[in-house]
């Protein structure tokens, strides 16, 4: 794993220090397609972090998918989002080592191999 690829609906900067770099999809140009994001993550060995269900669905049909962290909670204020993510991030990082899909809810985290 070389880092995390944050989807366009997520902030480009976080207010905590992850153990791996975070790259925002905006570095791929204006509004890259899901296919472009998927392939870039595969090529660079990045973990996709998204609120988009399409990536979770796509993971089921790809033989060698990139890992996906699916943030499955509604919108929240920016400050609350950063505080919540900082709180759960250590658990996300430990689970993503040997899991391909991490679903993050406000009240729980689910991980799948």
Number of domains in the chain: 1
Judged against a pLDDT cut of 90, whether residue 39 lies above it is answered with yes
The Cβ of residue 84 has, within 10 Å, a number of other Cβ atoms equal to: 15
Enter the tokens of residue 110: 């689910």
- Model pTM? 0.95
The radius of gyration of the chain's CA atoms, rounded to the nearest angstrom, is: 13
- Looking at residue 31, its pLDDT comes to 87
pLDDT digits (tens, 9 = 90+) for 52-82: 999 999 998 888 999 999 999 988 999 999 9
pLDDT computed for residue 60 by the predictor: 87
What mean pLDDT is predicted for residues 72-94?
Answer: 95
DSSP sequence for 13-26: S-SS--SS-EEEGG
Q: Which domain holds residue 37?
A: 3-112
């Amino acid at each position: 794993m070389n880092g995390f690829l944050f989807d366009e609906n997520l902030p480009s900067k976080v207010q905590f220090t992850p153990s791996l770099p975070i790259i925002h999809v905006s570095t791929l140009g204006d509004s890259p397609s899901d296919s472009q994001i998927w392939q870039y993550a595969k090529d660079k060995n990045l973990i996709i972090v998204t609120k988009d269900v399409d990536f979770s669905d796509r993971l089921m049909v790809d033989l060698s998918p990139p890992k996906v962290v699916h943030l499955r909670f509604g919108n929240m204020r920016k400050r609350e989002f950063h505080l919540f993510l900082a709180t759960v991030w250590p658990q996300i990082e430990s689970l993503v080592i040997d899991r391909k899909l991490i679903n993050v809810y406000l009240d729980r985290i689910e991980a799948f191999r």
